[in-house]
Amino acid sequence: MAEPLLRVENLKTQFFTDAGTVRAVDGISFEVHEGEIVGLVGESGAGKSVASMSLLRLIESPGEIVGGEITYKGETIFGLEEGPDGDLQRRDDMLSNEEMRTRIRGNEIAVIFQDPMESLNPVFTVGGQLREFIELNRDLAKREAKREAIRMLREVGIPDPEQRYEEYPHQFSGGMRQRVLIAMALACEPSLIIADEPTTALDVTVEGQIIELVDDLQEKYGTSFIWVTHDMGVVAEICDRVNVMYLGEIVEQAPVDDLFHATKHPYTNALLNSMPRPDRTVEELDPIEGVMPEAISPPSGCRFHPRCPDAREVCQRVHPEAKVVDQADGHSHRAACVKHDVFDAGYDESVPLEAEPQVTAGTPGGGEDR
């Protein structure tokens, strides 16, 4: 397989607060290939947004990337090496802050944020903001940048782009603002766009339109996407491959069809069961028990075990790293659950934990109940 566009290896981002160290992202690895839409799924607080901001090195104090390696088109966005005194230090080939700003942010990797209401500056015109980013990232003169901005507004389906160019964000509806943000991302002609829950704040109908728009534009421009979301439905619609995150870790990684039809991790399974579907009534919906623990003091062993219907005694002790559990279409299917044989942790012999799971929750290897 060709060299991936982006490779993340064992990325760790932590926040040093008064209350202690928060391991927001704790050793995640994934790849994004050219033209691919990769999902990053999980509940709020799982570390999805921190992970995506780490890719741009836009983690603000008290947060810091403390380990791992991020490679983009062969260049090192982040990397550590052992210094002469044995301490870890930043590698020489790592891009400087200035290089990150001028060469990577915007023109190579662009972002679409979650909240279209807040992401646009209220005191500048929509066109002015769009033009500024185009000027900056594509080295165009003011007039060309303006023409390009209007073209992009039209491209994302904003009617009367010439007129709306001069208008202010508050004159746009939520969906229209999100289109503007998409126009911004595409206008900079990046190779990768990080979409951080771009449809969460929108109505369902508008959400559908936006997803369709992105799908079309993605095909047209061939841009790769990292799509951050908590919504499995969106994942099913748009993603090629999916990473499921729980408490700073990737617990399952698979092509989208495998993830849905051959689920390998109980957490993914629970996510799928909690999702409303037309073929099931509300009574059949099965919310995940409990709330996600704080990343500041994660549970021992498998981090999901306190909420896991399949948890056994061994899950409290053994912390599983994601391992390849299956292969499909040349892509590996990874999961971090000891119930799979490759872990060989003695799951089958272990005693089940209290808090018996409900009817629908899967038996070992479950998830195929549809």
Partner 1 sequence: MGLLRYTVARLIQAIPVLIGITVITFILANLAPGDPVRLMLQGQQVDQEVIERVEQQYGLDRPIHERYVTYMANLLQGDLGHSIQRDRPVTDLVVQRAGPTLMLVVSAYAFALITAIPLGILAATRRNEPADHISRIVALLGVSTPSFWIGIMLILVFAIQLGVLPSSGLVYPWWGPDHYGYSGYPELLYQTIRHLLLPMVALGTLQMATLMRVERTQMIESLQGEYVKLARAYGVPERTILRKHAFQVAQLPIITIVGLNLSTALGGAVLIEYVFNINGLGRLLLEAIIGLDYQLIMGITVVIGTMFVIGVIITDISYAYIDPRVTYGDRE
Kindly state whether residue 70 participates in binding partner 1, applying the rule CB under 8 A.
no
Q: How many residues bind partner 1 (CB under 8 A)?
A: 30
Kindly state whether residue 259 participates in binding partner 1, applying the rule CB under 8 A.
no
Residue closest to 115 by CA, chosen among 173, 174, 167: 174
Copy the structure tokens of residue 254.
Answer: 């698979």
Kindly state whether residue 121 participates in binding partner 1, applying the rule CB under 8 A.
yes
Copy the structure tokens of residue 23.
Answer: 């391991």
Strands 323-328 and 224-229: unpaired
**Contact with partner 1 (CB under 8 A): which of 43, 64, 75, 115?**
115
**Contact with partner 1 (CB under 8 A): which of 15, 72, 78, 133?**
133
Kindly state whether residue 58 participates in binding partner 1, applying the rule CB under 8 A.
yes
**Contact with partner 1 (CB under 8 A): which of 168, 236, 237, 317?**
168
Report the nearest approach of partner 1 to the CB of residue 276 (Å). Answer: 29
Kindly state whether residue 171 participates in binding partner 1, applying the rule CB under 8 A.
yes
HEC secondary structure over the chain: CCCCCEEEEEEEEEEEECCEEEEEEEEEEEEECCCCEEEEECCCCCCHHHHHHHHCCCCCCCEEEEEEEEEECCEEEECEEECCCCCEEECCCECCHHHHHHHHECCCEEEECCCHHHHCCCCCCHHHHHHHHHHHHHCCCHHHHHHHHHHHHHHCCCCCHHHHCCCCHHHCCHHHHHHHHHHHHHHCCCCEEEEECCCCCCCHHHHHHHHHHHHHHHHHHCCEEEEEECCHHHHHHHCCEEEEEECCEEEEEEEHHHHHHCCCCHHHHHHHHCCCCCCCCHHHCCCCCCCCCCCCCCCCCCCCHHHCCCCEHHHHHCCCCCEEEEEECCEEEEECCCCCHHHCCCCCCCCECCCCCCCCCCCCCCCCCC
Report the nearest approach of partner 1 to the CB of residue 119 (Å). Answer: 5
Site string for partner 1, 18-57 (x = CB under 8 A): --------------------------------------x-
Kindly state whether residue 136 participates in binding partner 1, applying the rule CB under 8 A.
yes
**Contact with partner 1 (CB under 8 A): which of 5, 24, 37, 188?**
188
Kindly state whether residue 106 participates in binding partner 1, applying the rule CB under 8 A.
yes
Kindly state whether residue 111 participates in binding partner 1, applying the rule CB under 8 A.
yes
Single-letter residue type at 269: N
**Contact with partner 1 (CB under 8 A): which of 48, 105, 312, 334?**
105
Single-letter residue type at 215: D
**Contact with partner 1 (CB under 8 A): which of 90, 101, 154, 319?**
101
Q: Which is nearer to partner 1, 139 or 212 (CB)?
A: 139
**Contact with partner 1 (CB under 8 A): which of 13, 14, 71, 137?**
137
**Contact with partner 1 (CB under 8 A): which of 74, 84, 86, 122?**
122
Report the nearest approach of partner 1 to the CB of residue 126 (Å). Answer: 11
Kindly state whether residue 191 participates in binding partner 1, applying the rule CB under 8 A.
no
Select the span of 35-43, 75-83, 117-125, 210-218 touching partner 1 (CB under 8 A). Answer: 117-125
Q: Which chain residues interact with partner 1 by CB under 8 A?
A: 56, 58, 101-102, 104-107, 110-111, 113, 115, 118-124, 132-133, 136-137, 168, 170-171, 173, 181, 184, 188
